[in-house]
Structure 1
Amino acid sequence: MDVTQSAESLYGIEDLARLTGMSARNIRAHQARRLLPPPLRQGRIALYDQGHVQRLETIKSLQRQGYNLVAIEAFLGLHSDAGQRSLGRTVAELAAERSGALAALVRHSIVAHGQDGEVLVLRARPLRAALALRRYGLSAPAALQLLGEVLDIVGRVADDLVHGTDARAASLRQNSPTTDGQAMPAEDLSTVLTEAFRVVVERAAHQASENLLGPDQLADLEMELLLTVDSG
């Protein structure tokens, strides 16, 4: 793309990094993922305009709200396939019967409201896992309501669990000769908690269901629960 704007409104990547508080490496990563449009070109020089600044600020804002990059792609309308759009319409129709269910799914970043009012699916796997419970007698609206209620229950303890685990890890690291004083990355903390929760849920579901379901049904139910846990 040719440069047609004044030089005052254009930035090199280092200037863009300082302006947005984002590293040049992350800016390039967002560009490679197509979350950020390609730069303008002045010969071999890559330049960025106010549109790039606004897009990076939007990405930062969504990340602060807890959205991962896959969810941000969906929110920005990138890589949205027909299946996801169809699932969004299905969720909107079903949630109309139980308005609280949709509110819970929005609150936990499972879906979001698009600018045109469309329901955007940010995390499809928990929705599909919940809707699969229809084979056990739940209606689709009831399955979505159940998912929302489970998310609310887990959410009430998640903050305490995250902060408590982080604090405990910090106290243990104080006695380690290899500690460098850096905080535990959120991704690593999330992985530990997700795997621990996965083990507990798998065992609890098996113990609660083994006398109520047949072996095949039990295996199917456990898989659906684990898919939900894997999706955060």
Structure 2
Amino acid sequence: MTGAGAEAGARTGAGSGAGVGAGAGVGTRSGAGAGAGAGAGTRSGARAGAAEYRIEDLAHASGATVRTIRAYQDRGLLPTPERRGRANVYREAHLARLRQIADLLDRGYTLASIKELLEAWDAGRGLGGVLGLVAEVQGPWTDEEADRISRRELDERFGGRQDDEAIAEAVELGVLERVPGRDDEFLVPSPQELSVAAELHAAGVPLTAISGHLRELRGQVEHIASRFLEFTTEHVFARYLGHLPPTDADAAEAAALVRRLRPLAQQTVDAELARAMRTFATRHLHHHLGAEESAITENTTRPVLLPARTTQAVQDLVGAERVAAFVAAAAEREVQARTLDALASSHAIANEVDQKG
């Protein structure tokens, strides 16, 4: 079995080890107490604490498949079982180890990383700090709580019209998530983001423009996040990540730093965004007010009567709304051309007079 297949197989039915988390499945070195009640009906009659399992029984108790268990053995993730006749005999330590692996897979670790962590665990190094660091990084990075919204409420917030294409795009972008078994209800990971989209749409921005802007914005924000992580890794976290897996103490200290530094990224972006918005909004406003003042000044000049044929020709060329601007630009260009001709002519006459003199 490939590594990907083993990981997928381990997740199947992993819930049968419910209650095994960072404290239970991972915190029990020998396996005693981790799943002491699980699989009780499959034991071979040994006394409590010395349970024995055939591979099929171990698969049933752990939620993993027989094929997955064998793949773990091949990769060195499970201790070698006792050979008894033609059968392998597994014990509580194997069950605890399978639950450790399932727990770490659920936390996002690859099998290669899990092997390194378990080797460190077997060597006497704790995993509590490492798992605490993982929890800090993979936990929520915002205080905002997800919400649910019905299809009817969604349609009402966006103009009262059903738009299946817009819904599909919102799901693709992660603004909405479908609820299994509920076609008329959606999970909203960020209610604030959905509210922004609703306000923009109410102000007249098309949904296609909103989704396009979100895609562009997301790419830019992901670049900012990547740079912030590179920056903090280089100057703060490199000393904790020099050896893999990190020691329990280093991982715990790094987790504390993540808690301290996590708000800084958002605070920095908020401050810089506020500064940039003020700068560009002011510049934008001055530009348009200046253009309006120029237009008012220009409109104080005397209107010029043009032949209807000329006006129609200009309108056919540039459109009715641009006739005045075109005529003004053409007149200005003609004035400039004649001014240049006059200057050149004056210079030529002056040279001729000098030569005759």
TM-score category of the 2 structures, normalised to the smaller one: 0.3 to 0.5
Q: TM-score, normalised by structure 1?
A: 0.47
Q: Please tell me whether Structure 1 or Structure 2 has the larger radius of gyration of its CA atoms.
A: 2
